[in-house]
Chain A
Amino acid sequence: DTGVSQDPRHKITKRGQNVTFRCDPISEHNRLYWYRQTLGQGPEFLTYFQNEAQLEKSRLLSDRFSAERPKGSFSTLEIQRTEQGDSAMYLCASRRTSGRRGDNEQFFGPGTRLTVL
């Protein structure tokens, strides 16, 4: 168990460019979540995958955002035509489906910090 990993850790881009982030969850975790955290705020839910199916998207996820989890393992989050307001930390979390009550902890990756100039 090597934990949730995210790549890159930092990304600086110019407004209007496209960026893509990758998340590798803990192996055998079938549930994967993306969150966005802006300065001085707590993380906010963006989207959720169960295996390869994207089952929920927040209204925060505008049409410039797209997320995939093609084989039910790693996931990518793409932002097209970036805007300065997209500058934030993007966090990925994963967990397994468990029948045990209370076994519901999400494990977070270190995040990708995006700066849009």
Chain B
Amino acid sequence: EVQLLDSGGGLVPRGGSLRLSCAASGFTFSDFAMAWVRQAPGKGLEWVSVISGSGKTTDYTESVKGRFTISRDNSKGTLSLQMSSLRPEDTARYFCAKRCSSSKCYKAFDFWGQGTLVAVSS
């Protein structure tokens, strides 16, 4: 059974830093790209970042480029998101998600964590 356990959220001041983690199990972690998706209070889902299975390729939504860094440790089955220069608009629940690999579900996210809450005070 695929399981994704998000952790690391909390309350931080504007300009602060935070590191989110996602512990994965139930599948061959290194075979799949992983992503972070967030949901601000009262808003919809927003893709934040994605990393390839090998970790060699990453991509970010424009608003977090230069401030957030996605990484993974395939030996431990963990995904991370290092967030710095945090802004109040980064306040959201952050979900880690496994990207589907087959051609039929290409670029879909087939399993998600429960999310971890990040609050940035102004």
A and B physically associate: no
